[in-house]
Amino acid sequence: MVRILVVEDEPSLRDGIVDLLTGDGHDITAVGDGVAGVEAGLRDPFDLVVLDLMLPRLDGMEVCRRLRSARPGMPILMLTARGSEDDKVRGLMEGADDYVTKPFSARELLARVRVLGRRTPQGESLDEVRVDGAVIDLARMVVVRGDARTTLTPREVGIVRWLFRHQDRVVTRAELLEQVFGQRGDLQTRAVDMAIAVLRKKVETDPAKPTLIVSVKGAGYAWRMSR
């Protein structure tokens, strides 16, 4: 069972989502505007937030930003209107993890909810990732290895989060560039490689032989492929 906060102002759609997710065995809290969404999300740690973009009192982008800064590990699935590509990109930059475009099918929504809301393995959470001999504390932005503490930049936290959340597949350089760096363009993908090299020095036991952030030749990077 996953605890989900649904923030959607249109009553019929909200009821439909609540019925669908309740029927899938989840525990749902539903609210109808952005202010109530922030209040609920700050009050309780949810496993997932399903957040409409166009909301009264406080728009979804601002709700996303506030929840993300208070609870960096809480996954957010954005609901966007058809054709608003700019909104999707902006939403992901504000820290949303994924989006579905309205109108969406029940199957489509459930698939995204199952991926984002799934419990992470071995007691790991998106606030704290335990790796060989170290803890990557994403909320406090530090890597703790024995007595040594290394500070992470917001971008490095973003890279770790993105790779960790998408650990079932290879993540391309272009994707990291767009989703974490907020940039586009083939020429800039070198910046991704440089950032990964610096990050490996902080999180890998042996940066020369990375086992956590693995290079996949011709494709990009993957989180701990052996798992």
96 contacts 53 by C-beta, under 8 angstroms: no
Q: Which DSSP helix (H) or strand (E) runs through 118? A: none
The reply to whether 204 sits near Ca ion by the rule CB under 5 A is no
Min dist CB 42 to Ca ion, Å, is 21
219 contacts 172 by C-beta, under 8 angstroms: yes
Rounded Cα distance between 174 and 191, Å, is 10
Min dist CB 142 to Ca ion, Å, is 38
β-bridge pairing 3-7 and 27-31: parallel
Q: Which of 47, 52, 156, 204 binds Ca ion (CB under 5 A)?
A: 52
H-helix segments, 44-169: 60-70, 85-93, 106-117, 154-165
Nearer to Ca ion, 52 or 87 (CB): 52
Min dist CB 47 to Ca ion, Å, is 23
Interactions with Ca ion, residue window 9-28 (CB under 5 A): 9
Q: Of 47-55, 146-154, 171-179, 210-218, which segment contacts Ca ion by CB under 5 A?
A: 47-55
Side-chain half-sphere exposure of 82, counting CA atoms within 13 A: 3
Using CB under 5 A as the criterion, what x/- string covers residues 123-152 for binding Ca ion?
------------------------------
Q: Which residues are at the interface with Ca ion (CB under 5 A)?
A: 9, 52, 54
